[in-house]
C-alpha cells in the first residue's frame, strides 16, 4: 500500500483557518483548495484539540 501525499503543518493550519470564514464550509474549502474533505476535517479536529495549536501529523 502506498502512502498518501504529505502536507506541511503550515499548509494544514492555513487550510483549516480558511474554514471559519462566513459562508465557508469544510467541504467548499476542501474543494477550492484541492484537499479531501475528510482530511481537512481531520486537520481541523486536530487543531481544535491541540493545546499549542501545532499539528502532530503531517498528512
Does the residue 3 lie in any domain?
no
Q: Tell me: the pLDDT tens digits for 16-58?
A: 887 766 666 788 888 888 888 898 888 888 887 875 555 555 5
Task: Please tell me the total count of domains within the chain.
Answer: 1
Does the residue 26 lie in any domain?
yes
Does the residue 29 lie in any domain?
yes
Does the residue 55 lie in any domain?
no
- Cα 28 to Cα 40: distance, rounded to the nearest angstrom: 10
Environment class of 12 (CB within 10 Å of its CB; exposed 0-12, middle 13-18, buried 19+): buried
pTM over 0.85: no
Q: What domain range includes position 45?
A: 9-49
Amino acid at each position: 500500500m502506498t502512502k498518501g501525499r504529505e502536507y506541511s503543518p503550515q499548509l494544514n493550519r492555513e487550510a483549516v483557518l480558511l474554514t471559519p470564514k462566513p459562508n465557508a464550509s469544510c467541504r467548499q474549502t476542501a474543494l477550492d483548495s484541492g484537499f479531501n474533505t475528510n482530511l481537512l476535517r481531520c486537520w481541523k479536529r486536530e487543531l481544535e484539540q491541540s493545546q499549542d495549536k501545532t499539528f502532530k501529523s503531517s498528512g
